[in-house]
Amino acid sequence: MDTPSHLSVILDLSPTQWALSAQSTNPPGISLETFLSQLLAFLNAHIACKDENTLAVFGALPGESVLLYSSTGEVTASDDGPTDSNTYRPFKTLDATVMKSLAERLESFGDAAEEAPIGIVGCMTKALCYINRITSNTTAAGPNEDGPTASIDPRILVLSVSPDQSSTYIPIMNSIFSAQKLKVTIDVCKIFGADNVFLQQAAHLTGGAYVQVDRTDALLQYMMMSFLPPPAIRQLIAVPTQDRVDFRAACFCHKRIVEIGFVCSVCLSIFCQPVPVCSTCRTKFPIKTLQRLNASRPPAASLSSAPGTPARPLAHRNGTATPATPRPG
Ligand SMILES: [Zn+2]
Ligand SMILES: [Zn+2]
């Protein structure tokens, strides 16, 4: 319970989605400005909880992902403002650094006609690399008196406003597997817009919380109650859990989210229709199997029902509903 905690926050900074959120009246949205002021209060609370707590803030912008702040000091804070005796210095450094790097990024971002896909996955992988570095640093420091178990308790919090991008299914799943291996919990706070299928799965598979914010005027309260306590303490408090997780996957061939998929029995690649040859591992399937699977497919009209249908293996049914192992196709 007394271990320090690392928090990597991923901010979804899609200009389009934030503009929509600010204009939204039903349900009432939240502007980026209000969001940032509440976010800074939350980040200050995290570093105030324990002196050894560490923090990294990543910004997901269209087509790129950037580190906006890290408590190990990769992003230098300008310390030119007048010293305020009423402000706790780490708070001031944090706030100034986040706002300054954010302003720089948003300024350099021109109003391109078409918005590139938002860099959530890039932020996730950078956050995992960052966590891997700081955790291996603490273990490399040698076995201290507390033993090798005394390490930081890392987690990632994704603050999302953008819809799913089905093209990012494979990198997101690979990030989830890395997070599971590193024992990193991924929490997701959906501030605006419809549910994210892949982020729901990320939270579910890493033991994190997925919270859809119903009242944006209480955003800070949501964050404080759900995401401030480190995962070790959450067994003792009631953090909102998901009563229903959308387990749909995206096919490797068209990157579409599918309800019924066909899984290669050799490499576990997912396809939206039975294929004679797996495009990933080049395994050939018997023509009899293809005919049988094609015959058993429901008509196209009924495909929209029954979300969360487990994917079917192509060559044989193994009955497991584990997610397929994505790998580059
Ligand atoms: Zn497909
Ligand atoms: Zn295959």
Task: Give the pLDDT of residue 72.
Answer: 82
151, amino acid identity: S
Q: How far, CA to CA in Å, does 185 sit from each of 53, 70, 282, 283, 286?
A: 16, 19, 35, 35, 41
For the ranges 72-76, 206-210, 300-304, which has the lowest average pLDDT? 300-304
Q: Cβ of 171: how many Cβ atoms within 10 Å?
A: 17
Contact assessment for residue 132 and residue 183, using Cβ atoms and an 8 Å cutoff:
no
Q: Which residue has the higher pLDDT, 143 or 5?
A: 5
How far does residue 270's CA lie from ligand 1's centre (Å)? 8
**Burial call 226-260: b when 16+ CB within 10 Å, e when fewer:** bbebbbeebeeeebeebeebbbbbbbbbeeebbbb
Residue 41, SS3 per DSSP? helix
- CA 284: distance to chain centroid? 35
Task: Find the mean pLDDT for residues 111-135.
Answer: 86
Ligand nearest to the CA of 258: 1
Task: Give the pLDDT of residue 150.
Answer: 46
How far does residue 212's CA lie from ligand 2's centre (Å)? 36
User: Cα(146)–Cα(323) distance, rounded to whole angstroms?
Assistant: 37
Task: Give the pLDDT of residue 187.
Answer: 94
How far does residue 131's CA lie from ligand 1's centre (Å)? 34
Confidence label for 144 from pLDDT (cuts 50, 70 and 90): very low
End-to-end CA separation in angstroms for the chain: 42
298 has pLDDT over 80: no
How far does residue 264's CA lie from ligand 2's centre (Å)? 5
Ligand nearest to the CA of 260: 1
How far does residue 325's CA lie from ligand 2's centre (Å)? 11
202, amino acid identity: A
Ligand nearest to the CA of 254: 1
Ligand nearest to the CA of 250: 1
How far does residue 253's CA lie from ligand 2's centre (Å)? 12
Confidence label for 327 from pLDDT (cuts 50, 70 and 90): low
Q: How many residues does the chain have?
A: 329
How far does residue 127's CA lie from ligand 1's centre (Å)? 30
How far does residue 93's CA lie from ligand 2's centre (Å)? 51
Q: Cβ of 279: how many Cβ atoms within 10 Å?
A: 14
Confidence label for 136 from pLDDT (cuts 50, 70 and 90): confident
Domains along the chain with CATH numbers: 5-235 (3.40.50.410), 249-313 (no CATH)
How far does residue 312's CA lie from ligand 1's centre (Å)? 14
For the ranges 66-70, 123-127, 240-244, which has the lowest average pLDDT? 240-244
The residue written with tokens 């009563």 in the block is 243
Task: Find the mean pLDDT for residues 230-240.
Answer: 82
Task: Find the mean pLDDT for residues 112-136.
Answer: 87
Which pair of structure tokens corresponds to residue 236? Answer: 């003792």
User: Cα(278)–Cα(271) distance, rounded to whole angstroms?
Assistant: 9
User: Cα(301)–Cα(304) distance, rounded to whole angstroms?
Assistant: 7
Tens of pLDDT, residues 76-106 = 656 656 677 777 888 888 888 899 988 888 8
259 has pLDDT over 70: yes
Task: Find the mean pLDDT for residues 62-81.
Answer: 78
User: Cα(159)–Cα(10) distance, rounded to whole angstroms?
Assistant: 6
Residue 89, SS3 per DSSP? helix
317 has pLDDT over 70: no
Task: Find the mean pLDDT for residues 201-220.
Answer: 91
Q: How far, CA to CA in Å, does 300 sit from each of 250, 296, 303?
A: 17, 12, 5
Confidence label for 303 from pLDDT (cuts 50, 70 and 90): very low
How far does residue 210's CA lie from ligand 1's centre (Å)? 28
Task: Find the mean pLDDT for residues 257-285.
Answer: 91
How far does residue 286's CA lie from ligand 1's centre (Å)? 20
Task: Give the pLDDT of residue 112.
Answer: 61
DSSP string, 107-135: HH----SSPPPB-HHHHHHHHHHHHHHHH
Nearest to 47 by CA among 59, 55, 39: 55
Task: Give the pLDDT of residue 75.
Answer: 65
How far does residue 296's CA lie from ligand 2's centre (Å)? 21
How far does residue 254's CA lie from ligand 1's centre (Å)? 4
Task: Find the mean pLDDT for residues 154-163.
Answer: 94
Confidence label for 149 from pLDDT (cuts 50, 70 and 90): very low
Tens of pLDDT, residues 27-59 = 788 999 999 999 999 999 999 998 889 999 999
Task: Give the pLDDT of residue 271.
Answer: 93
Ligand nearest to the CA of 329: 2
Q: Which residue has the higher pLDDT, 122 or 317?
A: 122
- CA 279: distance to chain centroid? 28
Q: Which residue has the higher pLDDT, 164 or 235?
A: 164
Residue 105, SS3 per DSSP? helix
Task: Give the pLDDT of residue 79.
Answer: 60
The 3 state secondary structure assigned to 233-294 is HHHCCCCCCCCCCCCCEECCCCCCEECCCEECCCCCCEECCCCCECCCCCCECCHHHHHHHH
Cβ-Cβ contacts under 8 Å for 160 (sequence gap 6 or more): 12, 120, 188, 189, 190, 191, 193, 196, 199
Task: Find the mean pLDDT for residues 131-160.
Answer: 72
Task: Give the pLDDT of residue 66.
Answer: 92
Mean pLDDT of the chain: 82
